[in-house]
Amino acid sequence: MKRIVIVGNGMVGYKLCEKLRSRSAEVEIIVYGEEPRPAYDRVHLSSYFSGSTADDLLMAPASWYVENNITLHTGELVIDIDREKKTIKTHMGRHDHYDHLVLATGSSAFVPTIDGVERDGVFVYRTIEDLNDIIAYSKKVKRGAVMGGGLLGLEAAKALIDLGLETHVVEFAPRLMPRQIDDAASEVLAHKLSQLGITIHLGKNTKSIDGNGKLEGLSFADGSKLDIEMLVISAGIRPRDELAKATLLNVHPRGGILVDQHLRTNDENIFAIGESAVFNNMVYGLVAPGYEMADIVARQITGDNAKTFNGFDMSTKLKLIGVDVGSFGDPFCDNTPSIPIVFKNKHKGVYKRINISEDGKLLLGGILIGDASQYNILHQMVANKMPLPENPETLIIGNGSAKGGDEGAGVKGLPDTAQICSCENITKGELVHQITECGITSVDGLKKSTKACTGCGGCTPLVNDLLKITLESMGHKVKKVLCEHFDFSRQELYDLIKVKGIKSYDALLDMHGKGDGCEICKPAVASLMASIWNDLILEQDTIQDSNDRFLANIQRGGTYSVVPRIAGGEITPQKLSAIGRIAEKYNLYTKITGGQRIDMFGARMDQLPDIWEELVAEGFESGHAYGKSLRTIKSCVGSTWCRYGVQDSVSFAVLIEERYKGLRAPHKLKGAVSGCIRECAEAQSKDFGIIATDKGWNLYVCGNGGARPQHAKLLVTDVDSETCIKYIDRFLMYYIRTADPLTRTATWLNKLDGGLEYLYDVVVNDSLGIGEMLEKEMEGLIATYHCEWKKVVEDPALRAKFRHFVNSDDADENIEYVDMRGQKCPVDWNKK
């Protein structure tokens, strides 16, 4: 039996174990890991700062190695290799024999030789132990910086933000992520990050790290300084090749173990993979090429020499501090004749660039910032040399084959050799084989049989599209069910509940479901019940969302916020005074929201009914800020006060908000009414927006802000108020009936067959003949409206639910506050 010794137990070392064992049970596998725990996920290391534990990040627990007959030595460093005797020696004095040795030693953080780098408060960002040191030190400081504006540097910056520090990023190059994006993209990304509270310093050559014992600041070559108390160095990586050098294996002049296309070193019994290896003068610093190397070495060891390593596409898509970033193919085309096409919206933080060949036939590469929804298909177009559409610009500005949500058409045209999952190197042909020949009918099934979608997860949309198209081509009816407990879609369950008059989750489960339900179907059914019957949400025994359960948004520190409805943003002085009085009485933090309301933060759960009682007495109602329901109708002052206004936008906004208040939907709803084309209420960023004209109103639908902003589409022009309301009734009820759970109107429209044109036919032309029915259903919901706060105030049984302890009326004494600009705010969890 061959004895395989693997030095290094990072992600790539673990993948080699997995690949080896899947190919043969007849090899003996021994792994030496320098760190004190089994392999963990470095790609998602920053999640450690936002709640993930070390165990959450494990690739597999220690028991997995035992179950797969793999010997794992953790906390043990290999310090010597005897190539003649084919043995290794560890720092603990252990000797071990090998038939094949694989060096998966990875890389270490590059620390530049700067005066003062040894000071207290200077850290690297590489291991969980590094992260523990950073967390411990951060509790003593307020200002931190990251040296390095690359991928890892920006991840480290997110960590400092999560720790509640004033955060700076210092980059030597004139732009962020200099290897992946261009100057224009860097400008957009820097602007986006600055909005998140990160200060960016570009083109800064750090001369010294200053302080008296501990870190106090940075001095730059241009004479400027930056006062900070903590520094995380993330200026690049260096391959761990010291073991290879000591045993006279060939290494690259700039570091890294030289390997051939079989990943062999100059010793035929020793391989190197991952970030420790250099192939064709290149270190591959992503996990996907490391996994590919692991697969090739596993094949070599088990006798399959057909597959070789010939380099790897370094295209990548990731989310940095909540910002989508993607680069694919040749993002710059500095040495390739090409024509760049660029779309840029700095205000919304979106930048898209594609490089097309001079003859206009092929896509060569590109960059996506802020919206990388088109990444998968654009990457495939480059990799498979797919022909461009007649107007290539539509690929990034809409109506093109790569438009977000329309990837199905693109994946259909890919060749079988197209790589769909780069992490596991799974091709379209392999996935299709699993569906057509092995009977796989779900994405979960494909995950288990191929491991696609189990790495970074970026390929999941393409895999889902491929599954749907392949099943349809086989004559299968592809049915989207809510979950494993209901063999129905949300739309079908809507009809079943309404037609059969089902009023409870348990009754629905007994009649049309199976099992006990789950966290997917319970809230979805609760939403359906609320949308159809408009009964009190608190009386649904399966409601799971804590916000709905307590009719308020839970906030940091375990307190709740109270947001009364202020229709159209209009409020009388008397009601304004009442809010001030009540907020002062209960010592609540107050803030005017983006939707023209006043939010009161810091209420304990047991205080909520008392606060609501006083608000109700002053004429206020629940603002439903906690529900998947209508939130606000924003308005400008319109013709009442503004010299540009052409219609009374405030009155119409109040009418609209009063009409739809409490309306439950698949997701939250926001609207706005602007009194003229100057659009001060920002109606075109709302789920439905109304803009005044000289002749009436223009109605826009299906816009939204958030992580992926989308302008609303113009549905009708110059309609009177009555007609406008009729169309909104139909639009909202059709959305409520047909949208999937937790789907905003913008996403719903993107996926709607026929798009805006079809929606226009349904709403305006009544092409389905259901217009009157939709209007009557809306009237029924309006007629059954109730203020949920008032119901709790008046019902002792409901009111009794609002206490911290089941067996006591005492308040929670663990809630702590600090002062912020004269108001209270919760103590930062990370600082406690």
The pLDDT confidence band at residue 130, using thresholds 50, 70 and 90, is very high
pLDDT of residue 398: 56
Task: Look at residue 815 and tell me whether its pLDDT is greater than 90.
Answer: no
Q: Report how far residue 711's alpha carbon sits from residue 573's, in angstroms, rounded to the nearest whole number.
A: 35
Domain 405-478 identical in fold to domain 553-783: no
Beta strands in 262-347 (DSSP E): 270-272, 277-278, 316-320, 323-329, 338-345
Global pTM exceeds 0.85:
no
Environment class of 96 (CB within 10 Å of its CB; exposed 0-12, middle 13-18, buried 19+) = middle
pLDDT of res. 95: 97
What distance in Å separates the CA atoms of residue 566 and residue 786, rounded to the nearest whole number? 16
Q: Is 438 annotated as a binding residue?
A: no
Average confidence (pLDDT) over 19-24: 94
For residue 109, is pLDDT > 50?
Answer: yes
Residue 390 pLDDT greater than 90, yes or no: no
Residue 42, token pair as written in the block: 């470095």
Greater model confidence, 335 or 145: 145
The pLDDT-based confidence of 593 (bands split at 50, 70, 90) is confident
> Residue 311 pLDDT > 70, yes or no?
yes
Q: Where are the domains of the chain?
A: 2-107+239-301, 122-235, 405-478, 490-544, 553-783
Whether residue 585 is predicted with pLDDT greater than 90 in this model: the reply is yes
Give the mean pLDDT of 170-193: 93
Percent of the chain with pLDDT over 90: 63
pLDDT tier at 133, thresholds 50, 70, 90: very high
CATH of domain 553-783: 3.30.413.10
Tokens describing residue 396: 């990034």
Say if CB 826 and CB 602 are below 8 A apart: yes
Q: What is the pLDDT of residue 830?
A: 52
Task: Summarize pLDDT for 707-729 with one digit per residue, the tens.
Answer: 678 899 999 999 999 999 999 99
- How high is the mean pLDDT of the chain? 90
CA 94 centroid distance within chain: 45
For residues 368 and 326, the answer to whether their CB atoms sit within 8 Å is yes
- Across 491-608, where does the E strand assignment appear? 553-554, 560-562, 589-592, 598-603
What is the per-residue pLDDT for 521? 86
pLDDT of 404: 38
- Does residue 642 have a known ligand-binding role? yes
Give me the residue label for tokens 């043969």. Answer: 24
Domain 122-235 has CATH 3.50.50.60: yes
51, pLDDT greater than 80:
no
Q: How many other CB atoms sit within 10 Å of the CB of residue 91? A: 12
Task: Return the pLDDT at 806.
Answer: 61
Asked if pLDDT for residue 405 goes beyond 70, the answer is: no
Q: Which whole number is the average pLDDT over 46-74? A: 91
Q: Is the pLDDT of residue 545 over 90?
A: no
Q: 314: pLDDT confidence band, cut at 50, 70 and 90?
A: confident
536 or 333, which is more confident: 333
Q: Which amino acid is located at 175 in the chain?
A: R
The 10s digit of each residue's pLDDT in 507-536 is: 999 999 998 888 788 888 988 988 999 877
Confidence at residue 401, expressed as pLDDT on a 0 to 100 scale: 41
Task: State residue 544's pLDDT score.
Answer: 55
- Span 271-293, mean pLDDT? 95
φ, ψ (nearest 5 deg) of residue 223: 95, -10
If we measure between CA atoms, which residue out of 37, 27, 22, 36 comes closest to residue 6?
27
Kindly report, residue by residue over 743-794, the tens digit of the pLDDT.
Answer: 999 989 988 888 899 999 999 999 999 999 999 999 999 999 999 999 999 9
With a CB cutoff of 8 Å and minimum separation 6, the contacts of 152 are 125, 234, 237
Residue 399 pLDDT > 60: no
| CATH number of this structure's domain 2-107+239-301 | 3.50.50.60
Q: What's the Cα-to-Cα distance from 130 to each of 73, 121, 802, rounded to whole Å?
A: 21, 12, 43
The pLDDT of residue 425: 84
Class of domain 405-478: mainly alpha
Token duo for residue 412: 């259909």
Among the listed ranges 141-150, 219-228, 503-512, 653-662, which one has the minimum average pLDDT value? 503-512
Task: Count CB neighbours of 345 within 10 A.
Answer: 13
Q: Is 333 annotated as a binding residue?
A: no
